Structure 1
Amino acid sequence: MVKTVIIEAHGGSDMLKVVDREVGEPGLGQIRIRHEACGLNFIDVYQRSGLYPLQLPQALGMEAAGVVEAVGEGVTHLKPGDRAAYASMPPGAYAQARVMPASQVCPLPDGIPFDQAAAMMLKGLTVQYLFHRTTPIKAGDTVLFHAAAGGVGLIACQWAKSEGIRVIGTAGTDEKCQLALDHGAEACINYRTADWVATVRELTGARGVDVVMDAVGADTFEGSLDCLAPLGMMISFGNASGPVPPFNIGILGQKGSLKITRPTLFTHISDHATCQDMASMLFDKVASGAVKIRIDQRFPLEQVRAAHDALEARRTTGQTVLIP
């Protein structure tokens, strides 16, 4: 029996329950993994609240790291005793151990601690696809990144700097702006005290940015379009402030033949070989020191409600992990 966090109904953090569940043996294409640390992400909040509805009851959590205990038939890239980490469907990572599909579980290099791995898989793989699999971005290009001091943002700032890409960030406090600057952003705008759209235009000589990477959603969508240079790309990859409402697609033409996409990580990692290649690039970035994983919050698994509350209230910076 292992402790596992589940929901039986969608709603607030009070819906989260820690229960004892039996863990069985892995079947075809599966592994059993004992977790050392579990990651916390906004997708967990979306699934809990019902923005991304789940079939209930359902365990939550999309990323973790630990040690493989057993492998099922057909699994060749992992063996018992291997260190491993993942960001993967289906949910269920908020647990001491679980049986799960092996395809998106990645062998973890010895030099990367479990807590860092659990904190970086979903966010780091997200940054990988944002910069390498969504639209061409080259050294010298300028990216506007919202929530630049958050978990994805701090990885993105470092990743971009390592590749010669200019990042203009936004954040909600001067302290968070400084954090983004410390991690490689060229500029960071406090959106509570400054007109961030006008400031972006000033910083780019009125041209605008080549790409916007926006996980905030409703609150920043229109302004983000106004920050783009002609032919620029809007990557809307999250809904922290709520989903983007319907809009007239003709606006994209009026504002300079803009492009827009709404990607998800799980499309990109659905292929086993692609997932492993993306993880390899992420591990190389971390192992080289180009990207450092900052864990600013740690919660025992039993305090998962407090962890969700802190994330939703935007009281977190960097990464957050749950310790089983």
Structure 2
Amino acid sequence: MSCLIRFERTGGPEVLQWVEADVPLPAAGEVRIRHAAVGLNFIDTYHRSGLYPVPLPSGLGQEAAGVIEALGEGVTAFAVGDRVAYVGGPLGAYSEVRNLAADLLVGLPDDLSFEQGAAMMMQGLTAQYLLRRTYRVQPGDTVLIHAAAGGVGLIACQWAKALGATVIGTVSSDAKAELARRHGCDHTIIYTRESVSARVREITDGEGVPVVYDSIGKDTFMDSLACLRPLGMMVTFGNASGPVPAFEPALLSRMGSLFLTRPTLFHYTARRRDLLEMAGELFAVVASGQVRLSINQRYPLKDAAIAHRELEARRTTGSSVLIP
């Protein structure tokens, strides 16, 4: 028996229910995991609200860390008692215990806590593919990172700085600007009272930046394009303000033959070899101290609705975890 969060209809945080359910023996290729910490991510609100439709009723959550309790037939890469973390698979991480395909798991090093494991898989691997694979940041680059005080933002700012980049970050308040600066952001732009593109042009002596990492979506898309230098890359990887409206592709030509991509983590981790390589690089940069995880909010798992309200109201900073 396991307690978990489930929702039977889409809507606001009030649709989340705390229920009990039986957990069967793991099937072939699966393991049973007892969660020690569960990650909270903005994509969870998209599934709950219906922006990203899922079959209902449904569990929620794609990221957690814990201990293996049982093995299904054919699982040889892990043993009972192993510490593991994961991101992806069927929704259902908002639970005390669950079964999951072993191929989705990575071993969690002993020098990293369960909370770190739960907080870093979605956000940390997102930062990894953004900085190392989508646009490979080089020493001397100047990069723009929206939502610099958020979970992905704080990781990406530190990592980009460690790679030798100059980091410009957008935030909503002076307090968040200070937080971003403590995590590697060289220049902060408070978008509630400054023009982002004007400040970027000022900082770069009119040149613009080679890449913009934008998780906000609709509200920032056009201004982000205006921040790019010719042949720059626009990476739109989230919809915090809503999806980007349709536009004429010739706009990219007029603004400097810009590149545009809309990546998602799970295409980058679809091959297990890539997942293990990406996780290994992430774990190493965290263990080295070059990237410090800021787990600034902790909620009981049963209070997931409260966590969603605070996340959507942008009252959170850094990473948040749910504790079963």
TM range (shorter): over 0.9
Map Cα deviations across residues 109-143 of structure 1 (whole Å, 9 max, x no partner). Answer: 00001011101110000000001111232111111
Residue aligning to 1:34: 34
Residue aligning to 2:292: 292
Structure 2: distance between partners of 1:4 and 1:78 = 25
SS for the counterpart of 1:266 is: helix
Structure 1: distance between partners of 2:59 and 2:303 = 15
1:201-212 equivalences in 2 (<5 Å)? 201-212=201-212
Residue aligning to 2:91: 91
Which segments of 5 or more consecutive residues in structure 2 lack a partner in the other structure? Answer: none
| 1:20 and 2:20 aligned | yes
| 1:261 and 2:258 aligned | no
1:38-117 equivalences in 2 (<5 Å)? 38-117=38-117
TM-score w.r.t. the length of structure 1 is 0.99
Shift of 1:78: 1.5
Structure 2: distance between partners of 1:95 and 1:207 = 49
Contact 1:26 1:70 in 2 (8 A): yes
Structure 2: distance between partners of 1:165 and 1:88 = 30
Residue aligning to 1:160: 160
Structure 2: distance between partners of 1:274 and 1:149 = 28
Residue aligning to 2:273: 273
SS for the counterpart of 2:64 is: strand
Structure 2: distance between partners of 1:76 and 1:42 = 34
Structure 2: distance between partners of 1:250 and 1:280 = 40
Map Cα deviations across residues 209-242 of structure 1 (whole Å, 9 max, x no partner). Answer: 1100000000000000000010000000000000
Structure 1: distance between partners of 2:144 and 2:128 = 16
Structure 1: distance between partners of 2:29 and 2:270 = 14
TM-score w.r.t. the length of structure 2 is 0.99
Contact 2:137 2:160 in 1 (8 A): no
Contact 2:130 2:136 in 1 (8 A): no
Identity %: 54
Structure 2: distance between partners of 1:288 and 1:47 = 34
Contact 1:89 1:266 in 2 (8 A): no
Which amino acid is the alignment partner of residue 226 of structure 1? A
* Number of aligned residues: 324
| 1:240 and 2:224 aligned | no
Structure 1: distance between partners of 2:102 and 2:206 = 48
Map Cα deviations across residues 66-103 of structure 1 (whole Å, 9 max, x no partner). Answer: 00111222323221100001111211000001001121
Which amino acid is the alignment partner of residue 284 of structure 1? A
Structure 1: distance between partners of 2:30 and 2:140 = 43
CA RMSD of aligned residues (A): 0.8
Moved over 6 A (4+): none
Structure 1: distance between partners of 2:110 and 2:94 = 23
